[in-house]
């Protein structure tokens, strides 16, 4: 295939240009304006709309009258940062966060001089293990005499977390929940949109997400007063004097009116994008069902309504892949996956925690065939930068990291692409 198949490439509706042109015509080329306001309104309509699951096995009824407010920001990372500030996180505090995630879920904790306390995953959803969460809460109270200031579950690759159990635990210990739904835009649990269960919900519109504003993110807030406070922090935290008076540290985190114009165009096809990702997942399911040694990651039951941002699979450790003996022999230039940005060069491609050789061999085989794939997120408790952070582990995230791979699922991925990808996977296997 002549074209390279990317994991999740931005796909425009055709209406983005109209909103952008309007912004230029009216000279709204600033981090505020009609597009920002309109995008926030579109997002509020989206997140407050529920689709109740009548046979929800969790027994959780979704909230029918949601009135969440949304603040558009420059990045999903900014949303995490401001949510932590709103929850009162300060230097020396601890925040419970899912270990199996991208670093953006965790780094803002460090920005504030607080300590991330990592909680491992349960095997069905790959997300925060509620039993381990409660163990961590009790142990931190016993060791520090203080409760953690917040809990951050993550919708890994779009899969909903066990939010019913997480919220029950959080409510019992009176700890606010910040839902990291950056990868879970449009995913639902028992019919309710992720990001609307906890105190705050984080969204991301990076270039490879379900919808994009090129960069950008948003924070779902419980009410207008909380949203106004977030907006105040996002616009430099000025006091109401006729001159610049600052009594708190603020941040330049507001979304650009141009980027918001892209978002407004994207919202017109958001439901289509989600439906397409689910269609791609179903096609992988059909085409991989008879391939021994490869297991597609699926929602454990109907109440877990994933957007399948990326389709993920695991490889049996005994599965043999062509070229496996060459895995990690060569240091790559750049980084694998998405908007990787600038990376440091390294002398060796190996560490003490990495995907199995057959996973790397499959990634290399797909890359040679013009297909982008990538490993799962490396657990944060195994990242050198957080080596001293407390961690409550059960081995699940580490074991999944060793055997997992992400496959293309974006709006540009056609049925023919999926068939080609699966065929290349089959051809790479040694039977």
Residue 357 in tokens: 């050789």
114 with 173, same domain: the answer is yes
Q: Choose the final residue of a domain: 269, 291, 307.
A: 269
What pLDDT, on a 0 to 100 scale, did the predictor assign at position 120?
Answer: 98
* Cα gap 314→293, rounded to integer Å: 8
DSSP secondary structure code for residue 103 in this structure = G
Report which of 382, 418, 421, 424 is spatially closest to residue 402, judged by C-alpha positions: 382
User: Order of strands, edge to edge, in the sheet holding 200-204?
Assistant: 69-73, 217-221, 200-204, 178-180
Distances (CA, A) of 51 to 46, 186, 243: 11, 11, 48
Name the helix (H) or strand (E) containing 174: none
The residue segments making up the domain with residue 414 are 271-430
Torsion sign, CA atoms 231, 237, 238, 240: positive
Out of 234, 253, 269, a domain closes at 269
If residue 95 lies in a helix (H) or strand (E), which one and from where to where?
Answer: strand 94-98
Pairing between strand 320-321 and 429-430? Answer: antiparallel
Phi and psi dihedrals of 6, rounded to 5?
A: -95, 160
3-state percent breakdown (helix, strand, coil) of the chain, nearest 5? 35, 15, 50
Q: In what order do the strands lie in the sheet with 192-193?
A: 192-193, 188-189, 304-305
Ranges in the chain, pLDDT < 50:
none
In this structure, the answer to whether residues 255 and 314 fall within a common structural domain is no
Both 232 and 88 in one domain: the answer is yes
Cα–Cα distance for residue pair 431/319, rounded to 1 Å: 9
| DSSP β-bridge partners for residue 294 | 315
What's the CATH code of the domain at 238?
A: 3.40.640.10
pLDDT of residue 134: 98
Same domain, 338 and 375: yes
Quick check: is 230 in a domain?
yes
Helix H or strand E encompassing 307:
none
3-state secondary structure of 385: helix
Instruction: Note whether residue 4 is domain-resident.
Output: no
Tally Cβ neighbours within 10 Å of residue 408: 23
Pair 417, 384 in one domain: yes
Instruction: List, for residues 261-294, the tens digit of each pLDDT value.
Output: 999 999 999 999 999 999 999 999 999 999 999 9
Locus of tokens 């997120």: 377
Q: What is the CATH number of the domain that holds 277?
A: 3.90.1150.10
Q: Is 424 helix (H, G, I), strand (E, B) or coil?
A: helix
Cβ neighbourhood burial of 113 (10 Å; 0-12, 13-18, 19+): exposed
Give the C-alpha separation, 423 to 406, whole Å. Answer: 16
Assign residue 60 a region (left: φ > 0; alpha: ψ between -120 and 50; beta: otherwise): beta
Name the residue among 322, 282, 219 with its Cα closest to residue 415.
282
Q: What is the pLDDT of residue 348?
A: 78
- Reading the block at residue 319, the tokens are 């599965």
Q: Identify whether residues 177 and 246 lie together within a single domain.
A: yes
6 part of a folded domain: no
- Predicted pLDDT of residue 352: 86
Q: For 67-113, write each residue's pLDDT tens digit.
A: 999 999 999 999 999 999 999 999 999 999 999 999 999 999 999 99
Task: Supply the pLDDT for residue 58.
Answer: 65
Do 300 and 332 fall within a single domain? yes
Tell me which of 225, 243, 269 is where a domain ends.
269
The answer to whether residue 2 is domain-embedded is: no
The answer to whether residues 407 and 311 touch, using CB atoms and an 8 Å cutoff, is yes
C-alpha gyration radius of the chain: 22
**Which distant-in-sequence residues (6+ apart) come within 8 Å of 178 by Cβ?**
80, 83, 84, 87, 150, 151, 152, 198, 199, 200, 201, 202
């Amino acid at each position: 295939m002549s074209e390279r198949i990317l994991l999740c490439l931005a796909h425009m509706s055709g209406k983005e240009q109209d909103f952008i042109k309007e912004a230029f015509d009216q000279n709204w080329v600033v981090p505020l304006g009609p597009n920002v306001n309109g995008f926030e309104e579109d997002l509020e309509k989206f997140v407050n709309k529920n689709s109740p699951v009548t046979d929800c096995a969790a027994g959780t009824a979704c909230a029918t009258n949601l009135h969440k407010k949304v603040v558009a920001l420059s990045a999903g990372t900014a949303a995490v940062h401001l949510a932590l500030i709103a929850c009162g996180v300060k230097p020396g505090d601890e925040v419970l966060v899912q270990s199996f995630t991208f670093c953006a879920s965790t780094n803002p904790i460090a920005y504030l001089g607080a300590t991330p306390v990592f909680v491992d995953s349960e095997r069905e959803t790959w997300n925060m293990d509620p039993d381990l969460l409660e163990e961590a809460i009790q142990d931190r109270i016993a060791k520090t005499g203080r409760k953690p200031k917040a809990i951050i579950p993550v919708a890994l690759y779009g899969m909903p977390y066990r939010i019913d159990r997480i919220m029950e635990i959080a409510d019992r210990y009176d700890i606010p929940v910040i839902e990291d739904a950056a990868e879970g835009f449009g995913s639902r649990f028992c019919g309710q949109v992720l990001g609307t269960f906890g105190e705050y919900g984080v969204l991301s519109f990076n270039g490879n997400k379900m919808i994009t504003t090129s960069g950008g993110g948003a924070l779902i807030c419980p009410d207008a007063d909380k949203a106004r406070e977030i907006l105040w922090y996002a616009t430099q935290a000025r006091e109401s004097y006729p001159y610049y008076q600052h009594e708190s540290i603020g941040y330049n985190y507001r979304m650009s009116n141009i980027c918001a114009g892209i978002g407004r165009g994207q919202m017109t096809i958001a439901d289509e994008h989600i439906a397409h990702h689910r269609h791609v997942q179903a096609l992988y399911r059909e085409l991989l069902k008879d391939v021994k040694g490869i297991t597609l990651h699926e929602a454990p039951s109907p109440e877990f309504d994933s957007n399948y941002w990326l389709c993920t699979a695991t490889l049996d450790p005994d599965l043999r892949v062509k070229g496996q003996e060459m895995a990690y022999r060569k240091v790559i230039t750049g980084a694998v996956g998405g908007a990787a940005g600038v990376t440091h060069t390294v002398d060796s491609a190996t560490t003490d925690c990495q995907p199995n050789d057959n996973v790397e061999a499959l990634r290399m085989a797909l890359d040679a065939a013009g297909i982008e794939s990538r490993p799962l997120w490396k657990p944060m408790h195994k990242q050198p930068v957080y080596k001293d952070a407390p961690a409550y582990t059960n081995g699940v995230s580490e074991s999944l990291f060793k055997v997992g791979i992400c496959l293309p699922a974006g709006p540009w991925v056609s049925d023919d692409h999926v068939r080609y990808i699966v065929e290349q996977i089959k051809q790479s296997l040694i039977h």
